[in-house]
Amino acid sequence: MSIYYTKDHEYIRVEGDLGVVGISNYAQEQLGDIVYVELPDVGKAFELGDEAAVVESVKAASEIYSPISGEVVETNEDLNDNPALVNETPEDGAWFIKLKISDNDELEKLMSADEYSAYVEGLA
């Protein structure tokens, strides 16, 4: 299992031919208390960089971009009832969507966990 990050603070955890997508711990800290999550429909296809979901906090609304091209095979319905899960377990239980990856080569454009950590430190 590998995990990759974008400069927009999305992550993708690769599990076989699926990518589990959510936002990083850093992103949820910046947003504050999450009050609403809008998820796409299963079957929707995204290209790299497409808007895939929306998350709203008490501070702001923010778009979540697809870190890779693929088709949505599952959404995390738990977030509809309890969007605060994103604050509690952003990189574990509070994933947004699962994508069937259509182009593994796109993963090379993303950051490793170490690269992302260094990137976030540079933002401080």
Domains of the chain: 2-112 (2.40.50.100)
What is the mean pLDDT of the segment spanning 2-17? 96
Q: What is the mean pLDDT of residues 1-6?
A: 92
CA 26 vs CA 40, 74, 105: distances in Å = 23, 24, 26
Structure confidence at residue 1 (pLDDT): 72
Q: CB of 97 within 8 A of CB of 40?
A: yes
Residues 33-40, mean pLDDT to the nearest whole number: 97
Read off the pLDDT of residues 62-109 as tens digits, 9 standing for 90 and up. 999 999 999 999 999 999 999 999 999 999 899 999 999 999 999 999
What is the rounded distance in angstroms from the CA atom of residue 33 to the CA atom of residue 47?
29
Residues in a beta bridge with 2 = 14
* Kind plus residue range of the DSSP H or E element containing 117: helix 113-123
Share of the chain above pLDDT 70, in %: 100
Q: Starting at the earlier edge strand, list the strands of the sheet with 10-15.
A: 2-5, 10-15, 18-23, 97-101, 70-75, 45-46
Choose among 73, 3, 83: nearest CA to 36. 83
The pTM for the full model equals 0.95
Single out the residue of 7, 9, 29, 10 nearest to residue 19, CA to CA: 10
